[in-house]
């Protein structure tokens, strides 16, 4: 059996593509393999994280009653994913209250650091999801916003503390922006000055001197004339 016949049909289609594209250049079978491996790795990591969350929830005692409606808890996705004691019924009914938030937004909106989410006990749970904007980016870590908010409030004391911290962060951010802008302006100005100096120097060495009328120095019996542009003076005597 030839080697070609032993490979799977998916691989075969890659190889066919490679044959087709090779002439056009730029198609690399190794790249395709690397992407497939990466996707496979991410997929299994997503499952691993989700299973880990489920396992952690099983290890804890699920509250008998839902925190919100107080009915007996039957199924709870929020419990199994995030260890959050809200029943599926309430989650359905009040979706807006149980939104997920990306780690990036969690840090930005609730002024948290990685360690506030990951190391401060209990570490907040998250799920991994494919980035919808660009699959080349890594997976997004999705936190339950309610838990992120709770964490933030526990760090900043209360809503007032968080609001104050946000105000300070905003001011810092705008100061940073102004400074960045100033720096950029200075760089642009420096650039313009350098260009002006260059063109001035360049004009000086490349121009053809036009001399003013000659001046006679009686004491030295010497004539001179000056180029106003480059200030060059030539001196000469007439015999
Ligand atoms: Zn409920
Ligand atoms: Zn000149």
Task: Determine the length of the chain.
Answer: 239
Give the count of beta carbons closer than 10 Å to the beta carbon of residue 139. Answer: 16
Cα of 91 to ligand 1 centre, how many Å?
7
Cα–Cα distance measured from residue 155 to residue 148, given in angstroms and rounded to the nearest whole number: 11
Ligand nearest the Cα of residue 68 is 1
pLDDT of residue 14: 52
d(CA 22, ligand 2 centre) in Å: 61
Ligand nearest to the CA of 208: 2
Among the bound ligands, the one closest to the CA of 85: 1
- Which tens digits make up the pLDDT trace of 74-113? 889 999 999 999 999 999 999 999 999 999 999 999 999 9
Q: Which two tokens stand for residue 59?
A: 């290890």
Question: Residue 11's pLDDT is what?
Answer: 54
- The answer, yes or no, to whether residue 186 has pLDDT greater than 70, is yes
Cα gap 8→196, rounded to integer Å? 65
**From ligand 2's centre to the CA of 191, what distance in Å?**
26
Please tell me the distance between residue 224's alpha carbon and the centre of ligand 2 in angstroms: 14
Ligand 2 centre distance from Cα of residue 222 (Å): 20
Q: In this predicted model, which residue has the larger pLDDT, 74 or 146? A: 146
* CA 50/CA 128 separation, integer angstroms: 8
Domain ranges of the chain: 8-52, 158-206, 208-239
Identify the residue whose tokens are 């997976």.
139
223 CB-contact burial (10 Å; exposed 0-12 / middle 13-18 / buried 19+): middle
Ligand positioned closest to the Cα atom of 97? 1
Q: Report the Cα–Cα distance between both ends of the chain, in Å, rounded.
A: 104
Give pLDDT, residue 24: 47
In angstroms, what CA-CA distances link 35 with 20, 29, 51? 19, 10, 24
Q: Which ligand is nearest to the CA of 88?
A: 1
Cα of 236 vs centre of ligand 1, distance in Å, is: 105
Sign of CA pseudo-dihedral 125, 128, 131, 137: positive
User: Which of 105, 102, 73, 95 is closest to 86 using CA atoms?
Assistant: 73
CA of 228 to the centre of ligand 2 (A): 7
Q: Identify the nearest ligand to the CA of 233 by its number.
A: 2
pLDDT at 3: 44
Starting from the CA of residue 205, give the closest ligand.
2
């Amino acid at each position: 059996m030839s080697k070609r016949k032993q490979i799977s049909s998916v691989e075969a289609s890659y190889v066919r593509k490679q044959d087709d594209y090779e002439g056009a250049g730029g198609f690399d079978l190794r790249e395709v393999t690397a992407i497939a491996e990466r996707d496979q790795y991410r997929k299994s990591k997503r499952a691993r994280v989700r299973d880990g969350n489920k396992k952690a929830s099983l290890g804890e005692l699920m509250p008998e009653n839902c925190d919100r409606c107080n009915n007996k808890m039957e199924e709870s996705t929020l419990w199994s994913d995030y260890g959050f004691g809200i029943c599926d019924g309430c989650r359905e009914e009040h979706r807006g209250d149980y939104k997920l938030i990306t780690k990036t937004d969690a840090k930005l909106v609730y002024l948290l650091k990685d360690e506030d989410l990951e190391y401060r006990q209990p570490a907040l749970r998250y799920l991994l999801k494919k980035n919808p904007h660009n699959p080349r980016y890594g997976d997004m870590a999705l936190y339950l916003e309610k838990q992120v908010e709770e964490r933030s409030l526990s760090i900043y004391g209360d809503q007032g503390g968080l609001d104050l911290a946000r105000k300070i962060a905003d001011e810092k951010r705008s100061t940073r922006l102004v400074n960045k802008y100033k720096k950029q302006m200075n760089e642009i100005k420096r650039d313009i000055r350098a260009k002006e100096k260059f063109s001035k120097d360049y004009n000086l060495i490349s121009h053809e001197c036009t001399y003013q009328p000659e001046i006679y120095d009686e004491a030295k019996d010497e004539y001179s004339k000056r180029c106003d542009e480059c200030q060059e003076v030539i001196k000469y005597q007439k015999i």
